[in-house]
Structure 1
């Protein structure tokens, strides 16, 4: 898809409507989401400003940056006025935001509750369209030594190798582990396979004196904790 050649560039807007100048004068927090996106794409189409185009894109994703962050380059190129370069700029900005959240999560390494586990792991797996299984390895102060993606599956599930889980734990000197995987479907109810796998890992951990402290099922905004539900 080609970019429009005749468009409203930001330089042609009224001074009060220029998001770049507004950012310089008032700071980035003063800008709306659509104004920030308008800066990324720089121009709209022949009959639409960059801000108007950004508002239309956001609206189609429920005015949610979280939902927009799931859009691919191809998805965004379906909007008139968005060519490949603009789509790439938006996707790159969304990814930077996700990585910032991940970096912030990595700084909060002490686990004190199931909620802190959720806050830690959600940026990694909470919004994925496929299922992934992660392990958090903890020391005796409940601080995360390492977090590892053990497996990555399709829409319906993933495979976990119990031997790999505890091989890593022994090598790291971990005294406890926390299991976490996401449900792309959004359901928080553990499946029979989830329950059986948790029991299998707990039994293996007990034999090595490595505690399975919790197993979280994670969605975009919520979680299910086996420990909170007394299922360990």
Structure 2
């Protein structure tokens, strides 16, 4: 007779190989990304353990957590057997917490010393969005961050910008300077003609009310473009 191989459940694994027990014994840093996701989803399906299912999910995004964060609840439940709504929500919630932690760490420095500082202060909020958003970073005379504000939300290729709202927001927070920042979901960070026009108009309007446009950052996943670095601010 042909011998069949029985799939072991996680409970039948050696204790040190079970994600929860491994975390308790060795700490969270000892776990792989798949093992951490397996803890979130708790169980797999009738063909895969939770770890195997988590590995397949990660493989679908080339083991890139940033790409995983862009998947919706619907995409997760539709594409992966064993991932119901509750498990998909748990994955999305955990990734959102990681994003917010990154945003909090970005504010720790509180001071904008370079275009990279500006990029890091908003990349957690903007890098995973499938549509454009326009934000401003408000600063005091020492270039310390007073506040980050979302101005508008748009479509895949553009977001509306109300120059009056930008200036009003900055004046209400008694800012002396500000940085425009928006994302390009396409991944192409080169500024469009519309981006150039907006930058020029905002800079001219800001000077009238004694505000300084310090930079305009266009970001995508892991990369950014700075108007200040490119010498495009007068």
Following superposition, the deviation at residue 189 of structure 1 comes to 1.0
**Contact 2:141 2:176 (C-alpha < 8 Å) held by counterparts:** yes
> Counterparts of 1:76 and 1:48 in 2: how far apart (Å)?
16
**Aligned residue in 2 for 1:61:** 61
Any runs of at least 4 consecutive aligned residues in structure 1 with deviations exceeding 6 A, and if so which?
none
1:40 is paired with a residue whose SS is helix
> Counterparts of 2:8 and 2:64 in 1: how far apart (Å)?
25
* 1:114 equivalenced with 2:115 (yes/no): yes
**Aligned residue in 1 for 2:164:** 163
Following superposition, the deviation at residue 76 of structure 1 comes to 1.1
- State the TM-score, normalized to the length of structure 2: 0.93
> Counterparts of 2:13 and 2:40 in 1: how far apart (Å)?
16
**Contact 1:8 1:46 (C-alpha < 8 Å) held by counterparts:** no
> Counterparts of 2:155 and 2:171 in 1: how far apart (Å)?
29
Note closer, same or farther for the CA distance 1:88–1:12 as it changes in structure 2 (3 Å cut): farther
**1:5-39 deviations in Å (ceiling 9; x for gaps):** xx965333332321111101111100000011111
**Aligned residue in 2 for 1:3:** none
- State the TM-score, normalized to the length of structure 1: 0.93
**Contact 2:69 2:128 (C-alpha < 8 Å) held by counterparts:** no
Matches within 5 A, 1:72-151: 72-77=72-77, 78-151=79-152
Alignment RMSD, CA only? Answer: 1.3
**Aligned residue in 2 for 1:211:** 212
Deviates more, 1:107-116 or 1:165-174: 165-174
> Counterparts of 2:34 and 2:118 in 1: how far apart (Å)?
32
> Counterparts of 2:137 and 2:84 in 1: how far apart (Å)?
41
* 1:31 equivalenced with 2:31 (yes/no): yes
> Counterparts of 1:211 and 1:8 in 2: how far apart (Å)?
63
**Aligned residue in 1 for 2:181:** 180
**Contact 1:8 1:43 (C-alpha < 8 Å) held by counterparts:** no
Note closer, same or farther for the CA distance 1:79–1:198 as it changes in structure 2 (3 Å cut): same
The aligned length equals 226
**Contact 1:10 1:42 (C-alpha < 8 Å) held by counterparts:** no
Q: Which runs of 5+ in 1 are unaligned?
A: 1-6
